[in-house]
Amino acid sequence: MTIAIMSAIPGELSLLRQRLRGEVLLVESGIGKVNAAAVTAKVILEHQPDTILFTGVAGCIDPSLSIGDVVIGERTIQWDAGVAGRAGFDVYQAGHIPFFNPTDELGFQPSSELLAAANEVAGSLTLESVLGRVPEVTEGTILTGDQFIDDPAVRDRLHAGFGAQAVEMEGAAVAQVAAEAGVDCLVIRALSDLAGGDADIDFTSYFPAVAANSARLVGRIHDSILA
């Protein structure tokens, strides 16, 4: 069993290096969908992983969640992929066009076994306090797009449109490449900001504590899969 653990930026991976022991495949994807997809393809071709875990931080778009909470992605969707017509923009499955290669699918999902393993680990793990509260781990939908969201109106529109919990810039692109190659993929994101006007400041302020919790959870999931 080979597991590749991927993250967008070096700070997230350095925390994982501190927690994981033995021979571990850790990969920095870079920021954005193109970087993430290209690196994922390279990892699959060169290392043939059975599973990819993509981790890191994300913006919170669900008002019921808070900075520090962690979202286990039961589905990842590229919210900026679709059809722009006269009536507006309709999100559609990335890699498909309705009139050429239509599909009823929207987004990408991990296997039920991988999702269950992650939730089992999460249920037995207490995360470190962030902003005076112990963060929650929840299963939900993670949105991916090539924009850093820092606008309450966009944040609220994305939550209303998808019922999603988090927004980021890589996960669903990784999942798309993995799905094409038949590789199981799970995206896990810790919420570092509220995507609403001060997201850049929140990201900088809370990244260390939030990313550490994400790394701790992913490390435990990694160990559980290999056990």
> What pLDDT sits at residue 205?
82
Rounded Cα distance, 194 and 156, in Å: 11
> What pLDDT sits at residue 154?
95
* Overall pTM > 0.85: yes
> What pLDDT sits at residue 149?
93
- Residue bearing the bigger pLDDT, 110 or 201: 110
For the chain, the average pLDDT equals 93
* Residue whose tokens read 């033995």: 22
| DSSP for residue 127 | P
Catalytic residue, candidates 12, 62, 69, 170: 12
Catalytic residue, candidates 69, 150, 168, 193: 193
> What pLDDT sits at residue 201?
66
Q: Backbone dihedral region of 152: left (phi > 0), alpha (psi from -120 to 50 degrees) or beta?
A: alpha
In order, the DSSP letters of 36-47 are HHHHHHHHHHHH
The counts of H helices and E strands in the chain are 6, 9
Closest listed residue to residue 208, CA positions, set 69, 70, 73, 68: 68
Amino acid at 23: E
Rounded Cα distance, 50 and 204, in Å: 33
For 8-20, how does the pLDDT look when each residue is reduced to its tens digit (9 = 90+)?
988 878 888 887 8
CA angle 209, 214, 217 (to 5 degrees): 125
Intra-chain end-to-end CA distance of the chain, in Å:
10
120 carries an active-site annotation: no
193 carries an active-site annotation: yes
> What pLDDT sits at residue 43?
98
Polymer length in residues for the chain: 227
* Residue whose tokens read 């529109």: 157
For 65-89, how does the pLDDT look when each residue is reduced to its tens digit (9 = 90+)?
999 999 999 999 999 999 999 999 9
